[in-house]
Amino acid sequence: MEGPSFQPEPGPVLKWALWLLGTLALAIASMALSQAGALDPLRSLALRAASPASLALRGATVDASDLLRSLLRRDQLLEENEALRREVEALRAELARRQDASQRLAELERLLQLKSSRPQDGLLGARVVALELGPLRQAAAIDRGSDDGLREGMVVLSEGGSLVGTVTTLYPDHAWVTLVTDPRSAVNVTVQGGQGDARGVVVGRAGLPPSLELVPREAGIEDGDLVVTSGLGGKFPPGLLVGVARSVRAHPQDTFVRAQVEPSAPLSRLQAVLVLTSFQPIQLGAP
């Protein structure tokens, strides 16, 4: 009669280790192929096949979460609504004080966030078929691609006209848009503060809201200041609303202000976007 064995059998352990090594090799080989673009046709096919189910699931989830949120936060929503009304009124009053008529018009366009307010722009509507909102990657897949005239670097806006991101990966009938919150994203911006405009950069961070960097402390920016694209660098047209400055801290010993940016586009609930086809981003080379 044998006693109880406290050691795993060598056979299964060895077999398991071989399976792990085989899978490791398979994963690394797949990654190499994927990076070389050899699997792009398969990716495009997968997105096309999954789009209908993904769209239905996304729509249902957003509707359900809207309903649940409304039920759970009715009082809070009413308060937020009132606060937003006051904020919009204050912003409009501020805009009315602006002397430059053309600047006032541009500001109103951003506030109204309507497609019709940008008649000079060529805009192409697209549906969001997939969202990736991990800490290391923030992207959205849309149902427009190179066959629709999209090019890498094209700017993507929300339905309200706020900046969503840029097209970074293209397939014939789909494209991936890297969101402004992605850790690889950097956008040259202007902060419209009470003491005048200040230049800075909005940088995406892993697992955190984007940060507002390189804004001099003397600029005197405050919570709630609007952050818009500056057009510097040529990757984005000037005047697109990026978001609102939050958690602004200006320590006397710091050269630059520390702040976060709350994106204006509802990135986790995107269902449709507009691709700005009339703007051609400039690809600057090394000096």
Partner 1 sequence: MRIALGALLSLAVALLGYSALPSVRPLGVQPDLVLLLAVCWAVAWSPGEGLLLAIAAGTLSDLLGTRPVGLSVLGALPALALAALGQATVVQASFPSALVAVGLGTLAQHILYLLAYTIMGEGPAWGDGLVRGALPAAIVNLLWTPLVLVLLRGLRAVLGPRAAGPRLGG
Q: List residues near partner 1 by CB under 8 A.
A: 4, 6, 8, 12-13, 15-16, 18-20, 23-24, 26-31, 33-35, 39, 42-43, 46-47, 50, 53-55, 57-58, 60-62, 65, 130-137, 139, 141, 169, 176, 183-184, 205-208, 268-269
Alpha-carbon distance of 44 to 83, in angstroms, equals 44
Cβ neighbours for 17, distance < 8 A, ≥ 6 positions apart:
none
Considering the complex, state which of residue 16 and residue 92 has its C-beta at the smaller distance from partner 1: 16
The minimum distance between CB 258 and partner 1, in angstroms, equals: 15
d(CA 168, CA 182): 12
- Smaller CB separation from partner 1, 209 or 239: 209
In terms of Cβ atoms closer than 10 Å to its own Cβ (0-12, 13-18, 19+), residue 241 is buried
How many of the other CB atoms lie within 10 Å of CB of 282? 9
Minimum CB separation of residue 91 from partner 1 in Å reads 28
Length of the chain in terms of residues written: 287
Residue 192 three-state SS: strand
Tokens read off for 162: 């706020």
Cα separations (Å) of 261 from 48, 150, 215, 224, 226?
A: 34, 28, 12, 9, 9
Q: Pick the closer one to partner 1 by CB: 177 or 226.
A: 177
| Other beta carbons within 10 Å of 106 | 19
| Alpha carbon distance, N-terminus to C-terminus of the chain | 81
Nearest approach, Cβ of residue 264 and partner 1 (Å): 18
Minimal distance, residue 29 CB to partner 1, in Å: 7
Nearer to partner 1, 26 or 114 (CB): 26
Q: Between 40 and 121, name the residue whose CB sits nearer to partner 1.
A: 40
Closest contact distance (angstroms) between CB of 121 and partner 1 is 27
- Residue 69 or residue 249: which is nearer to partner 1 going by CB? 69
Q: How far is the CB of 134 from partner 1 (least distance, A)?
A: 7
Residue with Cβ nearer partner 1 (77 or 208): 208
Least distance to partner 1 from the beta carbon of 220, Å? 28
CA neighbours closer than 13 Å in the CB half-sphere of residue 60: 6
Q: Let me know: does 227 contact 263? Beta carbons within 8 Å.
A: no
Instruction: Give the C-alpha separation, 39 to 57, whole Å.
Output: 26
CA distance 175 to 167: 7
